[in-house]
Amino acid sequence: MPKRIEGVALYLRNPRTRKILVLRERHNKEHLGKLNGMDANPMETSRPGEKKSRTLKRLVKEELPGLRVEVETTASGAYRIVPGVLVWLYRARTHSCRLPRTIGRRTEVDTYRWLSPNEARKLWLRQGAGEMIEDGAARRRRVMRWTCARPAGLT
Task: Name the residue among 132, 27, 54, 40 with its Cα closest to residue 86.
Answer: 132
**DSSP bridge partners of 68:** none
pTM over 0.85: yes
Residue ranges of domains in the chain, CATH in brackets: 5-145 (3.90.79.10)
What are the φ/ψ torsions at residue 141 (nearest 5 degrees)? -125, 160
Express as a percent the part of the chain with pLDDT over 90. Answer: 69
Q: What is the pLDDT of residues 136-152, one digit of tens each?
A: 999 999 999 999 998 88
Q: What is the pLDDT at residue 102?
A: 64
Distance separating alpha carbons of residues 3 and 76, to the nearest angstrom: 24
